Structure 1
């Protein structure tokens, strides 16, 4: 039987740090207000590095850890809702930046904050079917140019960054369960309308600043708490493992209260929850792969660890997975 395993991980964040104290000078907010409601203390902001460069730098680290030649990569999937351009895809740009010359496939996948789990589920299916041997999956976002920096409810939440994994065939169990979901009836709760074809068709009458990232926070929060908790439990229950066999929980890093609720749903103590939210904020599709890489490189996560992850994002989309590292 063919399994899919993670061969290597990588992450990258831009250098500029934007703290809550910095935001106090920009909008009507306080460090205490942001920390209490979200758990975020600071985030990284890309000044001149596009999404493709963020993704490329994370990918280089993942390829190095995987110890494979870059031309052995059969394809690239980039989860992002902030691509460099609508066309070409950010995945094609990254393929070129990495110098991969084997004509492997490359495409972007848009599922907002759940994008990395969506992308992994696609890559896992391709490898298990025998279609390809190795796939580079990247979650990369440059959200800051799309943020309304006068909106105190949203501008405090997001940061820029990228995480990557190299997947390959294995005779030992790797990914054990995936669950991906969407509810399009709630599509206007979390939006980014700028540069979509609707915006461009009416651009003479549209204002860019009025169509930047918008979120109805209270409504999204209520749905996210339930969906993340239920998805996390579902991933464990369908994996063939028991709750006590789960070693770590790597949740989407959006809000500390949502993370707490999901961890309690599967009876995990907080020392088993990987949290990077305080330092990097919400980097959407990049939160799970960056948190994984950080925990692998600092020695918390070792080979053989069983990890459950869950995410929730615009669409609305949500999903979960359980894998053995």
Structure 2
């Protein structure tokens, strides 16, 4: 089915880059730190290892390397970048925005750069906003970054979180196209999930000082059962909404790229939507949950499977709760 409208200006993904740290945290490592084991972790999450950023580096460093990877592989000119939108829950500092720091590290002195925090749904939010900028015709080269150094906020002794999360950064370049690109997005959020998935300390409600670094409020906490149930329902509903609005069925979608939260969630969403076998992309086994970076990193690692003209569905769920789905035509 050809759902591309004539004479419409689309925001097309024309390049993609990624970066994952070299350091690994394996299931064997976690066995030494808490009451867990490799078999239990794989059964519950599908994860064997996750990447951990070096202590002297920050979220911006991963984003810069992902952008440099994009530039090198696709021959893009950084000087032409109009805007940088960074989806992250782990900024380098409360202010300025990590996007500003990235611009400085790349030597960009006249670029619109800002952050978006929608937790694990952040990349979808940033992608939709970036697409809107391009569709207006006012911006022609927009970088959408998903990057998180979430290991900084993980209690290494808490097996409900230490088995899940890792660090990484992914980026796509949006440019105008009359042939196809981002087609639709269904994005939602509420405050119902605040108590079930959060990092309490570090904001104005629970300020944190250097002397408070051992308080439990500084760590990521989640109620796994509640999050699991809500994630499956919300991601499935969002995908269904997008397909219905575009007169599509699951058979029309070439690839589904879900947020890499947990392999059981990915599988449950696939069953709920009746996604044909082999069409759901995943890389959670060796990267874990990298928050806003999971979707661009998953595309980055599977880019050779995707063909020009393919219809791609993205879906995510995160703290807030926040959730959604996006649809685009692959134009690389």
Structure 1-normalised TM-score?
Answer: 0.95
2:12 counterpart of 1:2:
no
2:61 counterpart of 1:56:
no
Query: CA offsets, 1:126-154, max 9 Å, x none?
Result: 11112211100100000111111121111
Q: Separation in 2 of the partners of 1:300 and 1:135?
A: 24
2:281 to 266, 274, 284: 274
Structure 2-normalised TM-score?
Answer: 0.93
1:156 matched to which residue of 2? 163
Aligned length: 321
Query: CA offsets, 1:161-220, max 9 Å, x none?
Result: 0000000100112111101111212211111122112222x7599664311111111111
Q: Separation in 2 of the partners of 1:78 and 1:264?
A: 32
1:304 matched to which residue of 2? 309
Q: Separation in 2 of the partners of 1:205 and 1:15?
A: 30
Q: Separation in 1 of the partners of 2:302 and 2:122?
A: 20
Alignment gaps of 5+ in structure 2: 1-7
Q: Separation in 1 of the partners of 2:312 and 2:73?
A: 19
1:98 matched to which residue of 2? 106
Local SS of the residue matching 1:162: strand
Of the structure 1 ranges 309-318 and 183-192, higher mean CA displacement relative to structure 2 is found in 183-192
2:226 counterpart of 1:187:
no
2:318 matched to which residue of 1? 313
Alignment gaps of 5+ in structure 1: none
User: What value does the CA root-mean-square deviation take over the aligned residues?
Assistant: 1.6
2:216 counterpart of 1:210:
yes
Local SS of the residue matching 1:178: strand
Q: Is the 8 A contact 2:251 2:276 kept in 1?
A: no
Q: Is the 8 A contact 1:248 1:308 kept in 2?
A: yes
